[in-house]
Amino acid sequence: MFKRYVSFARITTLFLLLPLLGGCITNNPRPTVVEGRTPTSDGVMTAVVAPGKAGMCRVTPCRVYYHTPDAGGPVEVVVNNQVVGSFPSNTLVSLGDFSDSMRISITGSDAPTAFVNMPNTNR
């Protein structure tokens, strides 16, 4: 009978912990071109930047949007030295949700770097 209660306790604990563990998994969308209404930079949970510009978020995770430069063709966007994708030039791209400060650049372009600063990070 004791084994039955131990087993029940383990199963109950598992079912109670699963939602908590699920909250640790990020639902960060893939980078995509934004269509429709243009988001605004609120400085709290959303940053919209372009080459040579800087943004800030006071809360993390922060949704980051980037205006790609007019390069006459697709551009490869790099965030903190990692390629996140290739996008049409002169468009607004949703890069996703981030919790660390970031540097955004374009591969093979002389477009200036964009920066997004997050609280408690130094990059």
Question: Using 50, 70 and 90 to split pLDDT, how confident is the model at 24?
Answer: very low
Dist. CA 104–CA 109, nearest whole Å: 12
* DSSP per-residue string spanning 79-119: ETTEEEEEE-TT-EEEEEEESS-EEEEETT--PPPEEEE-T
The predicted-structure confidence for 60-117, as pLDDT tens digits, reads as follows 889 999 999 998 899 999 999 999 999 999 999 999 999 999 999 999 999 999 999 9
Q: Is residue 107 assigned to a domain? A: yes
Q: What pTM was estimated for this model as a whole?
A: 0.71
What CATH number is attached to the domain comprising 49? Answer: 2.60.40
pLDDT at 6: 53
What is the domain count for the chain? 1
pLDDT at 43: 80
Looking at every residue in the chain, the average pLDDT score rounds to 80
The answer to whether the bond into 39 is cis (omega within 30° of 0) is no
Q: Is residue 39 assigned to a domain? A: yes
Q: Is residue 19 assigned to a domain? A: no
Bridge partners, 96 (sequence order): 64
> Residue 37 is part of which domain span?
28-117
Contacts of 55 (CB under 8 A, 6+ apart): 41, 43, 47, 48, 49, 64, 114, 115, 116, 117
Pairing type for strands 114-117 and 82-87 reads: unpaired
Q: Is residue 1 assigned to a domain? A: no
